[in-house]
Structure 1
């Protein structure tokens, strides 16, 4: 097993930070360079929509590792944007016109926001809409919450709902506008979505489902939004309508793209000595025998670690079961596995205070689970559901429904 002598990492998010750390654990000599568009050390992003907005966590506290860590471990961070990649010559060209060679490359450029487009005639409104992707975006939203009272949240996904939760906790009001028939329709079962919708409304927010924006009119210091089914007045508009893989840099290269950068289960791309990890990678998952692109904190971390090991020649397939979470108000939402293509749905628990979990089974085997409850009530069972799924355990349905029977029983069978 021969390790490269020089590894470059494009991007400075979760996957990049943990990949660099993992490389250094295994090899103290490899030259590691991270290229970052931001003037911050790699930092965690989940708090940007939650604790950073409510003031429970300072932006300076978000770094994965300290500056001393990168200095001590001899990991170089260049605050330059890579503008061109020559895969054949293994050269990166940055915005300061400098060329940088690599031996092995990890692409961890993450994802970028989908943008609302109200047409060129509404550029003033387009430019005033806030989005959340990085620290600077979060600071703008925090400032807006400090100075405004009524907000439109366009998009009822994880990010939009977390921001709406923060707004309500700070005594302001969020109007959540969702095109679909339920919140978080892309990944969350409708039963859980309904509970979360009720929780938001009990805490002062409003939820508009099956709603399309027909027009937005500027009014004094605010906006009037005409929906197909309602009309609302707000001071500020925040959009969270999903994201796409950040692959603009590679559009005119030979790198194979399809909803992200295509990779195998070893994080290898179509280009020699080039790997991809995190949100940007559409990777092959051997457990599900399919390609998938995931956008979650834990996946980015695990995938970055896996890519690091495989760049060093370990050839270990990435088989982690998908897991994600969202904190809103005082409740915690968690999802493990895939909650589709099931033939049986099993409910465990009946109230949000003690936790409710829906298990999704195929041929009496768990393929996914989604739960919601006051913080601390569902995490253990969701983690166990993931392990049970990995082990392809045949379930006793009555026992699965019964909260008095601990799930670890099924791992001992």
Structure 2
């Protein structure tokens, strides 16, 4: 009898446990009366049967265990939690004790699904994503190369690019080269140009359809690239991984690339000359500057270009050619003794100056700007030079170099290089954990040439690509020797690599040029106007003809084609390939090897200058 009472009490406690410990389980959502009483009765029956004998006790326990286990597994879910949002969405739904719970629950789910779907379609997504796994600040060549590398290694990556400009990523070289030699006005408006071989091309890397809407990026299942245009990142918290935009918006990120490029330098004499001079001055850099200057050049009678470097000389040749077909007068002046005097040896710089002059440009070397003023009578800008002369022009172009955009260093705490400028980065182009820098703003360590900062297209491509790969975990070091090129029209051009400084000792080897030794010819052969892309056609060839003879340059010589070696401690640290194309891998190998040379005849053989 004692055993019967004990078992009966235990069965009651089991019944209370089922009733009190799982009140929100499926068993008690409208199904209490169906299962609660049978389980209690089963417990009582088991106790009474046990009092009649051990056989019945065992039988009762087995029956209870089997049947109870089935019920427990099928109907009881202790992890279940009620969805109170259904009650909020359907305020008229029945109470918890409604016996028609099963049918009500099904109808509630159906109704909830409809409401949720309607709500999602009605609520608009934010225009600016709150989070970007990959955040790229700047939309130049380096960013383009980076997001291509990211997507190549991580096909489902979500990349957000932020740019101050109102256009998609584009290549800059044609802005000072091919675009100026096109006669198609409508094509120019759409930034389409003809390469030297006549093939039409757009400056934009990808069509608009390639990019997705920024607000859709977070929900892109297969990832994508979105461009947030017309906005500037004003603050970067690299510890909290938050970028703040000029409109106050904040975007969190996992990994960030700073590729903000640079801003054209202005001259103090121009900046303090007043608004009349300022609005008649172009600091040439982007598509907006090109569009403005192109229109101005068709409507004014005179333009003055300050600067004799790459950009200044290219624009001088382009505008000079346009002046031949109109009454446009172009004047160029600079403090060096000749065009590109800081890069080319003196004899080659003088030859280049003669070339620019033949294009119809009035070149004034050895002169710098002292003051600028606006003449109300002639409505021209009057420039006073250091040699005492004055130049009057309807418009002024300043091309005196670039300042890297490093304003984010203040908020981010990233280290800047005191000598070269830009963000100091390690071998993987990382400025700080999960923050990289590429292009014009990256100051990197060159294992052959020391710490450097490079402002050219090829470097932007290679450094951007490497940074993008490293953002996906590649961990690669930057060792590439980038090249750059400049074209003075379709007939004269050069490519350079390494340290090309006219203050260094140089050795030049030249030969007579053929019709194949021009920028136009190399584009016709390769079909590619971006010279850094034509290197695939290059092969190392051995010279079989007589070796070139080194000698003192003659200033009246026609430098058709040749190679200029820049030497430091008997080691070649830089090369200029003058009208010599598809030989850049050879030059790159020479610098990489870093050998000492007593006789540069052996190196000159590698460039096959005397082949027809």
TM-score, scaled to structure 1: 0.88
> 1:332 aligns to what?
493
- Pairing 1:278–2:439 present: yes
Deviates more, 1:137-146 or 1:148-157: 148-157
> 1:100 aligns to what?
251
> 2:344 aligns to what?
188
> 2:224 aligns to what?
74
**Bigger relative CO (Cα 8 Å, ≥ 6 apart):** 1
> 1:215 aligns to what?
371
> 2:425 aligns to what?
263
> 1:169 aligns to what?
321
Q: Measured at CA, do residues 49 and 257 of structure 1 come closer, stay the same or move farther in structure 2, by a change above 3 Å?
A: same
Name the SS for the 1:264 alignment partner: coil
> 1:47 aligns to what?
174
Q: Deviations over 1:193-247 (max 9, x none)?
A: 2221111112221222221223333332323322122222222111011111101
Q: Measured at CA, do residues 335 and 129 of structure 1 come closer, stay the same or move farther in structure 2, by a change above 3 Å?
A: same
- Pairing 1:109–2:260 present: yes
* Distance of 1:227 and 1:238 partners within structure 2: 15
Name the SS for the 1:167 alignment partner: helix
Tell me the CA shift for residue 92 of structure 1: 0.9
Q: Assess if the C-alpha contact under 8 Å between 1:348 and 1:401 holds in 2.
A: no
Q: Measured at CA, do residues 16 and 296 of structure 1 come closer, stay the same or move farther in structure 2, by a change above 3 Å?
A: same
Name the SS for the 2:470 alignment partner: helix
* Distance of 2:348 and 2:272 partners within structure 1: 38
Name the SS for the 1:225 alignment partner: strand
How many residues matched? 397
* Distance of 1:62 and 1:394 partners within structure 2: 42
* Distance of 1:45 and 1:216 partners within structure 2: 29
Name the SS for the 2:400 alignment partner: coil
Matches within 5 A, 1:9-88: 9-55=136-182, 58=188, 59-60=191-192, 61-71=202-212, 74-79=224-229, 80-88=231-239
Q: Assess if the C-alpha contact under 8 Å between 1:13 and 1:110 holds in 2.
A: yes
Deviates more, 1:311-320 or 1:219-228: 219-228
**Structure with the higher fraction of residues in helix conformation:** 2
- Pairing 1:407–2:548 present: no
Q: Deviations over 1:47-69 (max 9, x none)?
A: 11122233366315111122233
Q: Assess if the C-alpha contact under 8 Å between 1:322 and 1:338 holds in 2.
A: no
Structure showing greater radius of gyration is 2
Q: Measured at CA, do residues 382 and 206 of structure 1 come closer, stay the same or move farther in structure 2, by a change above 3 Å?
A: farther
Question: Structure 2: where are the runs of 5+ without partners?
Answer: 1-131, 193-201, 213-221, 512-556
Name the SS for the 2:340 alignment partner: coil
Tell me the CA shift for residue 182 of structure 1: 3.6
* Distance of 1:342 and 1:365 partners within structure 2: 15
Q: Assess if the C-alpha contact under 8 Å between 1:342 and 1:367 holds in 2.
A: no
Q: Measured at CA, do residues 358 and 400 of structure 1 come closer, stay the same or move farther in structure 2, by a change above 3 Å?
A: farther
Q: Measured at CA, do residues 245 and 186 of structure 1 come closer, stay the same or move farther in structure 2, by a change above 3 Å?
A: farther
- Pairing 1:345–2:506 present: yes
Deviates more, 1:30-39 or 1:383-392: 383-392
Deviates more, 1:60-69 or 1:179-188: 179-188
* Distance of 1:268 and 1:408 partners within structure 2: 40
Tell me the CA shift for residue 97 of structure 1: 2.1
> 2:459 aligns to what?
299
* Distance of 1:339 and 1:120 partners within structure 2: 34
- Which of 354, 371, 386 is residue 228 of structure 1 equivalent to? 386
Q: Measured at CA, do residues 352 and 14 of structure 1 come closer, stay the same or move farther in structure 2, by a change above 3 Å?
A: farther
**Structure with the higher fraction of residues in strand conformation:** 1
Tell me the CA shift for residue 394 of structure 1: 5.4
TM-score, scaled to structure 2: 0.61
Q: Assess if the C-alpha contact under 8 Å between 1:349 and 1:401 holds in 2.
A: no
* Distance of 2:578 and 2:335 partners within structure 1: 23
Name the SS for the 1:397 alignment partner: coil
Tell me the CA shift for residue 75 of structure 1: 0.7
Runs of 4 or more, structure 1, over 6 Å off, are none
* Distance of 2:597 and 2:244 partners within structure 1: 54
Question: Structure 1: where are the runs of 5+ without partners?
Answer: none
Q: Assess if the C-alpha contact under 8 Å between 2:369 and 2:384 holds in 1.
A: yes
> 2:286 aligns to what?
134
* Distance of 2:559 and 2:346 partners within structure 1: 19
> 2:398 aligns to what?
239
